[in-house]
Chains A and B, each alone.
Chain A
Amino acid sequence: MRGELTLSDISKRFGDAVAVSHFSEHFEAGQYICLLGPSGCGKSTTLRMIAGHESVSHGDITLEGKSITRLRPAQRGTAMMFQSYALFPHLNVLENVAFSLKMKGVDATTRERRARELLELVHMDEFTSRLPDQLSGGQQQRVALARSLITEPSVLLLDEPLSALDPFLRIRMRAELSRLQRELGITFIHVTHSQDEAMALSDRIVLMNNAVIEQAGTPMEVFNKPKTEFVARFMGGHNVIKAEGQAFAIRTDRTRVDRVKPGIQGLVSNVEFLGRSVDISLDCSGTELVASMSDEMFYGNTLSEGETVNVHWLPSDLQPLVPAAHEETPSAGSKQ
């Protein structure tokens, strides 16, 4: 199928440092995939290996059934959108978008027509003669998108595409990326360190840490059934508790506090009002827990700092955790 991508046991070493270790994933065609993880976890390196901008130390990448591991970037059927957009500062919007067609030797009228079509797709057709300097961050990103899509790739690779935008624009462009992916029906692979972005966008999240995949699955699976402590903590909204040598994760909104019902004793150390919810930090004999409740519930029974309450939960909400997937030498590369 168009845009079906398989990474088999991919590794990348920079000298002694391991950037990516034994990465195996199969990406279905036409999915929105997010590679998620903290900086230096190897997600960008993985993306760059798929793009062909970084050689693969070990393993194989196949796109639509054929190996692309040794192909040049432009031969792979992938296109990359760079973190800083990498628009050519000396070319105007139209020339930037038409660049790859010019390199292929397509005649001027055809490439101009195609470039205009793509600029329409990203609503930038009014800015054809502007230089990149004269555009806002969001506009530059649209141009960069149009430029990468003009090669008709079956996989679009996006390296932290939203990190340079302000929060408002980030949410708008997020929706736009999602719309574009559905319209085009091609595979998007999006690198990000923001779990919000990954949850909002992806059909599938691949969460990486220390050069390995920590957990992969749908956003719901990753959020509701975190496998390791790292996943639970990185995705947020979870408490990690340890009992009898076994670690469990429990969602903060399933962690309840009560003055009457029996439970573990906890001291309210902080109350944070977050608008739709209230987060209550609790100190339960050394273990930090957070209970998240709706504002209505909170105001129905206000708690204040320094108060002692009982913390309880349903046993069925406990999610057992396994120790970190594969403990390996952490990557020395701390590339953003």
Chain B
Amino acid sequence: MVSISEHILLKSDGWRATFTSWLQLSPIISILGFFLVLPIVAIVAVSFWASTEYSYHPAFIFENYGYLLSSKVTYSVYLKTFMFTGITWFFTLIIGFTVAYFLAFHVRTLPMQIALFLVCTIPFWTSNIIRMISWIPFLGRNGIANDTLISLGWIDQPLEWLLFSDFAVILAFVHLFTLFMIVPIFNTMMRIDHSLIEAARDAGASGLQILTNVIIPLSKPGIMIGSIFVVTLVMGDFITVRFMSGGQSASVGRIISNEIGLLQYPAASASAVVLLLTVLIMISVMMRFVDIRKEL
């Protein structure tokens, strides 16, 4: 009898514990459910709807996906977007790693590190549209860059590819997103015990060997988090590409934005779902290489 009553007691206790846990989880669940899960479910649902030029209505058809995946335009736009992503990732990584390395290992005092770190964030005090537009007088046909190069006698003709080109798009991306690389890399580097570097030097490692054998391997989680930021931001961007290419380059984000402009919500939803899956696949591949859990 005793054992049975104990059993019941335990069970009711367990149930109460479970209920309490769920209750504690409910705020985050409701926020994520409302702001993340619900919108995605809505987009997925709408992506199966039917549409004409002037209307759309609930249905369950695969036409949107069929059209999207059979169009050559889709593939060439994805290719272009991958190219933007790849090149931007490369340059933000190089610049971000270098800046973070300088801040973490060459700046000696913490106040100075904080001050210089804040300097890095100054561009973020204005909106990203303003930051992009401010490139236009600099890069334009009669902009500061061309004027300077001509007056230096390095070129005779203004360089046409400086503005409204893929070059300009990538330049703006790198300018906008390098900080997203600097922050996580700096963060991991600050956690590297300086005695590890002394131990490496004691073992005869040169500066370059310390970099490749100690600092880069230990900075990998930060590099990966920064890479995820940059990749997702560039993959989903539409405004930078539109402004900086002068409307001449396409990206997946721009396709979606155009479709929304034409009120083709089912088609835009299908594009969004495909983009979401693409980015998720890219991130899961990246996570394969580095374990970022201990950074979080």
- Fill in one digit per residue for A94-113: 1 if any B CB lies within 8 Å of its CB, else 0: 00000110111000000000
CA distance A112 to B77 in the complex (A): 50
Cβ-neighbour of B202 out of A87, A88, A90, A148 (below 8 A) = A148
Interface assignment of A147: CB less than 8 Å from any CB of chain B: yes
Quick one: which of A72, A74, A86 contacts B195, CB cutoff 8 A? A86
Binds A, one of B45-53, B169-177, B210-218, B269-277: B210-218
| Shortest distance between the CB of B152 and any CB in chain A (Å) | 44
Say whether chain B's binding surface is mostly helix, strand, loop, or mixed: helix
Q: Are A99 and B203 in contact (CB under 8 A)?
A: yes
Asked if A80 is at the interface of the complex by the 8 Å CB criterion, the answer is yes
Q: Is the C-beta of B159 less than 8 angstroms from some C-beta in chain A?
A: no
Contacts of B195 in A (CB 8 A): 82-84, 86
Which residue from B193, B204, B205 sits with its C-beta under 8 Å from A86?
B193
Is the CB–CB distance between B218 and A73 below 8 Å? no
Known: A82-B199, A103-B209. A88 touches B214 (CB 8 A): yes
In the complex, what residues of B have CB within 8 A of residue A311's CB? none
Q: Within 8 Å of chain B (Cβ to Cβ): is A151?
A: yes
Q: Give Cα A80–Cα B252 distance, bound, in whole angstroms.
A: 56
Contact indicator B214/A53 (Cβ below 8 Å):
no
Any chain B CB within 8 A of the CB of A290?
no
Give complex CA distance A90, B209 in Å. 15
Do residues A86 and B203 form an inter-chain contact, with CB atoms below 8 A?
Answer: no
Give the contacting residue for B204; candidates A87, A90, A151; CB below 8 A: A151
* Minimal beta-carbon separation of B256 from chain A (angstroms): 40
Chain A residues within 8 Å of B, Cβ to Cβ? 51-53, 72-74, 79-80, 82-84, 86-90, 99-100, 102-104, 147-148, 151
| Extra inter-chain contacts (4) besides given A74-B202, A99-B203, A100-B205, CB under 8 Å | A73-B201, A83-B195, A88-B199, A88-B214
Closest 8 CB pairs of A and B: A74-B204, A100-B203, A86-B199, A86-B195, A103-B205, A90-B217, A73-B202, A82-B195
Q: List 5 A-B contacts (CB under 8 A).
A: A74-B204, A89-B196, A99-B200, A100-B203, A103-B203
